Amino acid sequence: MSSPSVAGRVPVTFSQPEVAELLSKMTFAEKVGQLWQVNVGEGYIPEDVAHGIRTGHIGSILNLVDVALVNELQRIAREESRLGIPLLVARDVIHGFRTVMPIPFAQAASWNPDVVESGGRIAAAEAAACGVNWTFAPMLDVARDPRWGRIAESLGEDPWLAAHLGAAMVRGFQGDDLRAPGSIAACAKHFAGYGTAESGRDYATTNVPENEMRNVYLRPFQAAAEAGVASFMTSFSDIDGVPATASEFLLRTVLRGEWSYDGVVISDWDSVRQLAIHGLTANDYESAEAAATAGVDIEMQGDAYHQHLAALVEKGRVDADWIDAAAGRVLALKFRLGLFDDPYTDPEEVLPPAPDTAFAVARQAAVESVVLLKNDQDVLPLQPKALTSLAVIGPLANAPREQLGTWIFDGDAALSVTPLAALTEALGDQVTVNFEPALATSRSRDTAGFDAAVAAAAAADAVILFLGEEAILSGEAHSRADIDLPGAQPQLVEAIASIGKPVVAVIMAGRPLTLTNVVDHLDAVLFAGHLGTMAGPALADLLLGNATPRGKLPATLPRMVGQVPIYYAQKNTGKPPSPHSAVLIDDIDANAEQLSTGMTAYHLDAGYRPLYPFGYGLSYTTFAYENIAVDQHDIGPDDSVTLSADVINTGHREGTETVQLYVRDLVGSVTRPVRELRGYRHCTLAPGERQRVSFTLTREALGFYGRGNQFGVEAGDFHAWIGGDSDASLHTWFRLLD
């Protein structure tokens, strides 16, 4: 970095006098110590860590969950350091701790903030019982590329849904009071735009125009800030040439400036020093300056701050006031957590939730996270009384660890109830359950087990085929360029389908998969994500009709990976495709004229439609929508708009429908998506029951960042749809007046 930095030109504000009072006693080195988080790892206390805590050079630790060792490090901090400043103790508690909830991507399919919040409560309580007081969740990166392994941790492709569910996850982890036993600080990550990594390859470059960043990728983070999230984490990624960890636009202009956020900002793992690897800086000294100038408070794991902040302040390249501000924010968080009163965790006092309570929450979350994609001839739910033999096929039917999904450092696979175990238990001696893995793993290409699987299918009245991905195939650094079912699974589907028995597929995966090559061979398909500890009982409930599927896709399922990125809230383009304008490759005449296929935005070999759209999900009953209305078509400057419609259960079973509202702003100072989710509601209806569902939108809810990247509401015409997915057809219109 050539010119002197401007770091520190932020107001030094502390809402708590005790923070200012403590800062006044601290040496510069002790203040810098609060800005260093060190990984401890498992099972023992490295002497250099103990020494760093004792001397006030380390203010927080990561990845220690042995409560006795955590208490010992808190004791060293409290009793052996000069000022007795306690430690922040962080862990990635992403979707559960010992009891594992569905991966966030699956939880998002519930569209239920209560599911997300209650899962967060259980996770926080179990983690707090081990001395953890800070989790690095929720992950709020809008994910529109299923090749990207971290879509598994995301809340899907839509900013509005991710904002609502992300705020619920913050509430779940933090509760109403960070001092309360069982509450832990949350962390909105990875700020920001990480999900647009080129080609879905994790850590790859992102280029996000400011208008898109503001209208899409920042929205869930703003919602988390408004929900009181205690911290933010910068992403690894390079954004338009500036890595997030050095982005003054993200951290100063937006987070501190526009949002007036005063919580802690932590880097991602060693992402400060990685600025030199990116090529933004030449060395750790410059990396420390760049991160401090942008406003990263705590450096995770790397020691650039520890090594160089003193010299940077000495040379006037980092402002000493900023050091006070950053250390003050860290101290403020420790006060908010009550750590100065009592940093210790008494395992007798801070008890994890009762297993039955945790399992009940995990089971309900899993039930609500499953999406029914297909159910030909109502083959589901299975009727046990009509069965004598059931074939359960596929390695994921009995894989206690795989069903937990990615990012479960502390998940206890011994607690997992697998689908095989749950089905066997539920069917008892009424039905013979024959299990054949057919493949060693989801990636295996060894088909030696197919014969036994085919024989089991032939002998059965019905087949449940468990397909998908092991946990390792999604998550951080686990991106895939081909998102078909891996290994020989497609061949297994064909072999089993050829038997002619009813075949139900359960897809367990950490991402949307391209199922086009198998879906026609299957009579029914449940998309389950990775459902966690209680995957088995939840799937048995759904397969046997003790529960009815209600999940809705939180992201689009493409026909082909070449369509990616494909998402419902696309722009119209100047040449939008339509059924008659998109002539598909097999329908093109020989020697076709160049202009004969319809000059519009589609792929000759895939069209322009996904296999299943965002918001899609079937039930064991059916729903219809009628009588959409708007309370007034002309919406004045001080008015809101209320849109309503009837939803009717037109089937024979009770079911819960997630009624969705989409709007389109027809003309804007920047082009606007063809649809945007602006509301959803769960309706549980008995057969034949009709409910009127209403949504009231303020003008603010229709606002966006326009041509000058300023937020505003622009007058003009809107279309609105109410229905069961982003393809809803029942529509009306309204007009915003100036």
- Sheet strands (E) in 15-76: 36-39, 60-62
Task: Return the DSSP state at 571.
Answer: B
The three-state secondary structure class of 718 is strand
Angle of the 159-174 helix axis to the 113-128 helix axis, nearest 10: 30
CB of 268 to ligand GLC, least distance (A): 5
Backbone φ and ψ of 559, nearest 5°: -75, -45
CB of 532 to ligand GLC, least distance (A): 19
CB of 103 to ligand GLC, least distance (A): 14
**Residue 221 or 721 having the CB closest to ligand GLC:** 221
Does 476 interact with ligand GLC (rule: CB under 6 A)? yes
What are the residues facing 506 on neighbouring strands?
Answer: 466, 526
Structure tokens at 242: 């500036």
Per-residue contact string for residues 606-645; x = within reach of ligand GLC by CB under 6 A: ----------------------------------------
User: Residues near 651 by Cβ (< 8 Å), separated by ≥ 6?
Assistant: 619, 620, 621, 622, 623, 687
Closest CA to 142 of 661, 707, 673: 673
Structure tokens at 57: 């050079």
Does 202 interact with ligand GLC (rule: CB under 6 A)? no
CB of 150 to ligand GLC, least distance (A): 8
Neighbours of 244 (CB within 10 A): 26
Task: Return the DSSP state at 720.
Answer: E
HSE (CB half, 13 Å, CA atoms) of 503? Answer: 27
CB of 120 to ligand GLC, least distance (A): 16
Query: In the bound complex, which residue of the shown chain has the CB atom lying closest to ligand GLC?
Result: 136
User: How many residues make contact with ligand GLC (CB under 6 A)?
Assistant: 6
Does 412 interact with ligand GLC (rule: CB under 6 A)? no
**Residue 111 or 236 having the CB closest to ligand GLC:** 236
Determine which one of 141, 268, 410, 725 is catalytic: 268
Q: Which positions from 140 through 159 interact with ligand GLC, judged by CB under 6 A? A: none
Specify burial of residue 293 (Cβ count, 10 A radius: 0-12, 13-18, 19+).
buried
The structure tokens 């709007």 sit at 663
CB of 194 to ligand GLC, least distance (A): 8
Q: Which positions from 92 through 131 interact with ligand GLC, judged by CB under 6 A? A: 92
Contact 532, 100 (CB under 8 A): yes
CA dist., res. 256 & res. 326, Å (int): 12
Q: Which positions from 56 through 95 interact with ligand GLC, judged by CB under 6 A? A: 92
First to last CA, the chain: 48
Among residues 105, 134, 136, 602, the one that binds ligand GLC under rule CB under 6 A: 136
CB of 195 to ligand GLC, least distance (A): 12
CB of 86 to ligand GLC, least distance (A): 21
**Residue 157 or 268 having the CB closest to ligand GLC:** 268
**Residue 530 or 552 having the CB closest to ligand GLC:** 530
CB of 478 to ligand GLC, least distance (A): 12
What are the residues facing 120 on neighbouring strands?
Answer: none
Contact 718, 666 (CB under 8 A): yes
Structure tokens at 215: 């209208």
Closest CA to 411 of 41, 722, 127, 34: 127
CA dist., res. 142 & res. 196, Å (int): 8
Per-residue contact string for residues 434-453; x = within reach of ligand GLC by CB under 6 A: --------------------
**Residue 92 or 725 having the CB closest to ligand GLC:** 92
Contact 108, 156 (CB under 8 A): yes
The three-state secondary structure class of 187 is strand
CA dist., res. 504 & res. 497, Å (int): 10
**Residue 136 or 285 having the CB closest to ligand GLC:** 136
Q: CA angle, corner 716, sides to 712 and 722, nearest 5?
A: 95
CB of 657 to ligand GLC, least distance (A): 34
**Residue 250 or 659 having the CB closest to ligand GLC:** 250
CA dist., res. 600 & res. 581, Å (int): 7
Task: Return the DSSP state at 62.
Answer: E
**Residue 66 or 476 having the CB closest to ligand GLC:** 476
CB of 213 to ligand GLC, least distance (A): 19
**Residue 189 or 552 having the CB closest to ligand GLC:** 189
**Residue 149 or 381 having the CB closest to ligand GLC:** 149
Q: Is 268 a catalytic residue?
A: yes
- Sheet strands (E) in 413-567: 432-436, 462-468, 503-508, 524-527
Q: Which positions from 241 through 270 interact with ligand GLC, judged by CB under 6 A? A: 268-269
**Residue 146 or 302 having the CB closest to ligand GLC:** 302
Q: CA angle, corner 453, sides to 451 and 458, nearest 5?
A: 95
Which 3-state string (H, E, C) describes 659-688? EEEEEEECCCCCCCECCEEEEEEEEEECCC
**Residue 412 or 476 having the CB closest to ligand GLC:** 476
Per-residue contact string for residues 266-295; x = within reach of ligand GLC by CB under 6 A: --xx--------------------------
Among residues 189, 214, 308, 672, the one that binds ligand GLC under rule CB under 6 A: 189
CB of 132 to ligand GLC, least distance (A): 13
What are the residues facing 391 on neighbouring strands?
Answer: 434, 463
- Sheet strands (E) in 235-298: 238-239, 242-243, 264-266
Q: CA angle, corner 349, sides to 347 and 353, nearest 5?
A: 80
CA dist., res. 574 & res. 701, Å (int): 26
Binding site residues, ligand GLC, CB under 6 A: 92, 136, 189, 268-269, 476
| Residues belonging to the active site | 268
